[in-house]
Each structure stands twice: as C-alpha cells, then as structure tokens.
Structure 1
Amino acid sequence: MRVLQLIDSLEAGGAERMAVNYANSLGVRIAFSALAVTRKEGLLKEQLHETIPYVFLQRKRTIDFQAVSKLKRFVKDNNIAIVHAHGTSYFMAVMLKIAYPKIKIIWHDHHGGRSTQKGYKNAVLKAASRFFDAVVVVNHELKAWAERNLAVSKVVYLPNFAIQNETEQKQTIVKGTDGKRIICLSNLRHPKNHALLLEAFRDFELKNGDWSLHLVGKDSQDEYSSFLKQFIKENHLEDNVFIYGSCPDINAILQQGTIGVLASIYEGFPVTLLEYGLAGLAVVSTNVGYCGEIIEHEKTGLSFNPSDVKMLTAQLQRMAGDEQLRKSMSEALKTRIKQSYSEEIVMNALILQYQNILNAKQK
C-alpha cells in the first residue's frame, strides 16, 4: 500500500494538521507514506517526521503544468497508488489524474459549512468529483451533502484524531496567572468568531479575577485582526488579552492553560477540541458542526450558541468559577477522546478504506 497525502499549505490549520498527522501515522503502518504540498510551506513542516518522503510543488497559478509534472514524476518514481487530497488540493489531484490515470483519488472534506453553502465553488467541486474514487468527510452533515451533490458512490465518515508531540520544544511562555488562563486556538479570521469571545470576556469582567485570554493562531494583519486589536485597546483589556500569532509549540502552550474555548460560527470536525482534551483543559465550545458530538453539554464540557454572547459569558463564568467542574469535565473529555478518537482507531478504519479502493481497482 503506497499513499500520498496532498495539501495546499503547511500553515497552522485543521486540515493541514490532519494531512501531516495522516502522513506520520501511516508511515509506521503501510509500505509507503508521503506528503506533497502544492502552494505554501509553513510551521507544520517541522512536525513531519524525517522518515516521511516530502515534495513541495511550488504551484503558482490555478493550472500550473510545471507543478503537475513535478507531482506526476514523484508519484511515478515512488509507485504511489492512492492520492489522498485534503481540502482544496482536490483540484491538483484531478489534474494529476488526467495526466496519470493510474492513480486513485480520495477527497477529504474537513471544512464544515463552506462546502455545503451555495456558491462555494460548488460547480468546480461537483465536476471534479467525477474523478474521485471516494470521499472522506468529518461529520454526518457533510456526508449527507456529498451523497446528494457529488458524482461519487463511496462517501465515508471518518473522525479526526490528535497527536501529542512528546518531543516538542517549549518556546512560548504564556502570560497571565497559573490556573487562570483561557486559551483559544484558532487562526484570526472571521468564522472563528473571536469578536464574540472578546465581548464575553469583557462582559464577564474575568480580568477582575486575574483571568486572562490567549489567542493563538495565524495573524494575517488584516482588517479583522485590526478590529480585534482595536476592541482590546478600547476596552482596556491589554493586560489580560494576548495575541501570539502562529506558534510551533501548541502542546506546550496548552499545557500552560486552564480552559480551552472554541467560538466558531461553523466547523467540520475541529482537531482543536481533541487537542484541548488531550492536554487536560476544561472546554467551552460552540455547538456547530461535529462539536456537539465531542463536547457533550454538561458531561465533557459546556456548549453555547455562537451567536449568543450572553450564553457564552454565562458558560465562561460557570467554568471559571468551579474548579471541581473543570476537573470532572476535563477528565471525562480525555476519556472520550481516547475511547472514540484515538490514532489507532482512525488509522485502522482508514487503512480498511484504502484496501477497499485498491481491491476495487483490481476487479
């Protein structure tokens, strides 16, 4: 079994982390596991194991024949049978399929609401799906959408999983008081709903109890980022709210936290919640996408509607004010992750799907 993971960038993001995790985990389970990046390298390259073959295609335009040729050469030289394309990299996989029909394509949809909403390049995706041998989705809403809209007969639900990097070097010192840090691990962009989180933090007046909020994720220095920083300044939160940008030592950062929060307007299957749980954080989470399956309200965490700032304020207040609640919920979440979303469980299911595709090829 020889498989290539394909992704457009290695900047810190959920789909990107999963592509790296898949390549690493398969590296010790199948004959050949590799990773190809089409457009942009990034921090996550450091997390790719040295034993995993890697190629950067340096794609510069939508249709880039030089990048396709480089990918085709890598696939042929390494006798790769399956290309597992994550997110928007499906377009490059389809161009490869046209140039090299031998390969099988799996498309992995991570992104929740975007691909199920009208106008999100659906015409291109639907046309491309004729070249897919299977689709992997991260929640049941996406499965139903793919079965209705894509020209592929095999659609499989497969949960994400998280890996704790035991060799990670601690680089980031998180500010604030021990035992009173709230971590939000999300790139600074509108769907991640940081504005609601900042409003809730302000309204609860958490800073009066020495609580602090830490925003960790890519800062594009754009209008959205400027709005958040202006809000922090206007509400005199500079001593209690901190923006770190992209960081390579996520596990080390989470180990310094107390509460993990996710406020997104939409999600597919957020790896962030799994990372919070494995790090032992108590979690307050949006209830969109697959979040409600991981964070079962009152059992493995507290949930809220991402348009309801009062609800988020109340949940933060409750979690911050009850140490025993934090302890019981964090332990319950860690147990659920180990039982249902472990690396071993997901990899076994994935390899079975690979085998089914290869067997179909031989018929």
Structure 2
Amino acid sequence: MKFQLYKINANNDFEVICKGLAERIYLDGRFTIKYKGEEFETEEQLPDHSATAKVLINKLKEHKVINDFSDIKGIGHRIVHGGERFTQSTIITDEVFMEIKKMITLAPLHNPPAIAAIKAFRNIIAVPNVAVFDTSFHTTISEENYLYSVPYEWYTDHQVRRYGFHGISYRYITNHLAKILEKPVEEVNAVICHLGNGASMCAVKKGKSFDTSMGLTPLEGLIMGTRSGDIDPSIHQYIATETGQDLATITDILNKKSGLLGISGVSSDLRDVFASSKENQRSRLALKMSSKRIAKYLLAYANELDGEVDAIVFTAGIGENSAAMRQLVINNLKILKVDLDPIANEKKYDSEKLISSTRSILPIYAIRTDEEIMICTDTYNLTKK
C-alpha cells in the first residue's frame, strides 16, 4: 500500500507533506514513512489491508504529521478496474462501493485489496473517499479497438472487451507532454510506453486514449516482470491436458511466474536480468524478447496515429530509469528513423528529459509519471466545499 499526504496551499498548489509504503502485507510486514527529510522504517503486524490502513493512520499521528484524524479532509484510492460503469473519478458512496465490488471478477488480483482499504478507511475516518480508476482514461477507445473477435454475446452478456490499465499515469503524461510541446492537450498525439513490473502501452490521439496493449485484464500485451503478455489462448488447454493443472492454476502461473521471471529463470526485476545477462543466455533472451515486443506495439501505434506522432515517451519504473532498455527498444524500431542521444539517455533528471538525437525524426522523452498527484487533484476537486 503506497501513500502520500498532501497539503493544499492557498494558491491551490499541492504540497507533499509525507509519503510512505506498507509492504509484505500478509507476510512479515514492513512500514516506511518519509517525513521532513527523515525516513522511518519499522516491522509491523500487517495481516491484511484493513490492519495496514489502521497502522498508516496511527503512524501519521505518531510522527506528528497530523494532530488529529480531523486534519484529513479526503482520501483518494487508485482502483485498477472500473469496467464500463465508471468513466471518471467519483466519490465512493455505498452504491459505488457495491459496484466496485462487482468488478472483482474482472480484476481478482487488484480490486480486493483496494476494496479492503476503502472499507478500512471509511471505518476509521468520516471523510469522503474518492475512487480514481485506471480504466477510465481508456473509455474513449472505439469499438473496433476494444472488441475482441469472439461471439458478440460475450461482450453484451459478459462484458468481454479490452479495458486497458495504467490510465492514471497516461492521463498525467499526456497533460505533462502537452506543456512540454506547448500544445493544447486535445491536439497531442503520442505513443506512451509505461514500463514497470507491470507494463503497457498507449496510443494517445488528440489527447485521448485511442488504443492500448492491456485487455480484459492486465495480463495481455507486453512481456512484464511476472506476466506473460500476449500468448496463444490454446496454451491453457494444452498445458491443462499435459500437466493436469486446472485453468485457475495455469492463469495464476501466467500472472505470477511468467514474463521476465519465466524466461530468464533469474528474477522478475529487470535490473537483476540485466546484471545476469553476461553469463546467462536466458536473461539475454528475456531482454531481446521484451524489447522486441515493445517495439512491435510502438510501430503499430505509430501507424494507428497515421504517422502524425508528436513524441515517443518512456515512463514508469523501467521506462524512466533504464537507459539500457530504452536503447534496446529504439534499436528495434528499424522502419522508424528514430535515434537516441547516448549522453542524454544516460543523464540523470528530475521531471523529464529529451533523449533523442538531432538525427531522430521524432522527439523521444523520458518523463517521470505522477499518479499520486492525479489522484490528489481528483480527490480535492470532488471533495472541496
């Protein structure tokens, strides 16, 4: 559970007061909070997300970040899946809460912890809670891009369609890129590569999501840390027949034991895969496969934007920080005349940097995303009185 606490200043600027992370929930819990330039890390009993929410609130008081619970005016939650029901952020009423619970079948890995956190915070503090959905940015995608070539009744009766994820990040990057390019948001065309342990891509056309790589769930698309990305769906039946494993077990393997981890046999962390690539042929293979998959989508999306691409953007943990992966991806874009400046690509930066060379026909940027500020902004706008 990641968190940030913001203060709204007089001119409506958002100032980060503190931030932190509760990790290894269900295991040997660890809680980290950063406040006034200091970092405090403790081992905590975190048996579930409800208990974690209570620890979080108590830590804010313990470190005197707040004097009382009443200091907090609103709480924003990142919700991975909002289905077709939620096209924008919303205050969490009892009705909204029930609708989010219905989405568990579409996001069984992500929505339950979020639901537990919402329930816990609503029980602790009597302030508005706001749901900010990863899927809402992609509700502008047209039928031809969000439907699968399956019986149409699967969509009408069971909501089988492409939903897309990482939408909060894509919304931030699109807005930030508009400022960099000095263009209105509604005129921005870009291919954005959100590359982290979970990874996806988005074609942004006229400031809106036009196509994206993740689908019904976050399993489709790119090769990720532990997720397979695109595969032949017949693999499920074949492995079930060969091994006797049921569909739930196989899907779990595709989510948690595939991707970089499955190919390399070393780690789901790209840094470990790069570090082992000199000696480990499977690590080299994982890097080749991953970068080629990203390039494949990038070329397809450039085509979907009719070649009118304002910029290529790399963001999220890997996209922002791995100069080596960015270079591997660009090396695979042979039909596009794009090129990286090796010095700029390696240079440290705070918010954004232009990493393309003067020979590149398109500008290429590395931009640090900020999903938290988007959640904060929506929460403030929906709860201010």
TM-score calculated relative to the size of structure 1: 0.36
TM-score calculated relative to the size of structure 2: 0.34
